[in-house]
Structure formats: structure tokens, C-alpha cells
Structure 1
Amino acid sequence: MTSPYHGIIKEIVIKENSKIDEGEPLFIIQTLTGENKAIKVGIRGSVQSIEVQIGDEVIPGMVLTYVKDESFIIE
């Protein structure tokens, strides 16, 4: 998952190896205009790794986390 904004990581809501659901907020980014934006995921899956820390500056397209997509598990 990549950042859609230029700003600063204010909060990391998820933890590595945790399960996430579609629409769940993962990060809070404070944009250059001072707005706090929740970054949500569009898939269900598990967090493989978190690539940023609180206070890191991010730009659009920068990788925030790697998520294993588990939306279409066939049993």
C-alpha cells in the first residue's frame, strides 16, 4: 500500500502480522495543509511489514506497508 498524500505519519493504527478488513484505517497522515487523513485499505488481508514510523515524511507513491491480499481465499 502506498501513500496518496505528501505529509507526516502521525499515527500507525495497525501492527505487523495483524489481520485487516476492507475500509479499516491503517495510518493517519497529516498533510501539508495540516489536515489529518486516515489511510484505509481496499482489501482484506494480513500486514506483512510496516515500512514507515511515526514522524516520517511521506510522498505520494511511497510504500507505507505490504499487505497480503486474502480477499479471495478459496477453500
Structure 2
Amino acid sequence: MRVGERGRVQGFAEGGRAYRRKLLSMGLTPGVQFQVLRVAPLGDPVEVRVRGSNLSLRRDEAATLRVERLT
């Protein structure tokens, strides 16, 4: 996703158990909406706003999320 785009967490990818608990504790639960705020020049990390908080996610952590783009 690109800077400024919004999305909704649909769930987690298979094999992403290592990060699932961490993402859930940060508020990235199924159904929650988020906005991409910044992406580092090489694409890692990505900063998103979730529930009024800004989170920085590494590319491999973000890849475990299944998301739906919102308009």
C-alpha cells in the first residue's frame, strides 16, 4: 500500500504465528481500520496509524497481515 491509503485488517496469513500475537497486542485486530503514514526509502519500516496511535512495522511483520484496501 502507498502513503495516504487506508485499509482494514481482514486476518493473518498462514505461517505468521510468530508475529500474530505481537500485532494483536499492538491493536491490529481483524476489522480494525488503519492508514499508511510513511514508508522508508527502501520500503522497511512502514508507519501506520491504528486506533489513534502510530506504529512502525517491519516489512515481514506487515506481510503477515491480510488487508482490504478502502477508498
Shared fold (TM-score, shorter chain, > 0.5)? no
**Alignment TM-score, normalising by the size of structure 1:** 0.33
Higher helix share: 2
**Alignment TM-score, normalising by the size of structure 2:** 0.34
Which is greater in Rg? 1
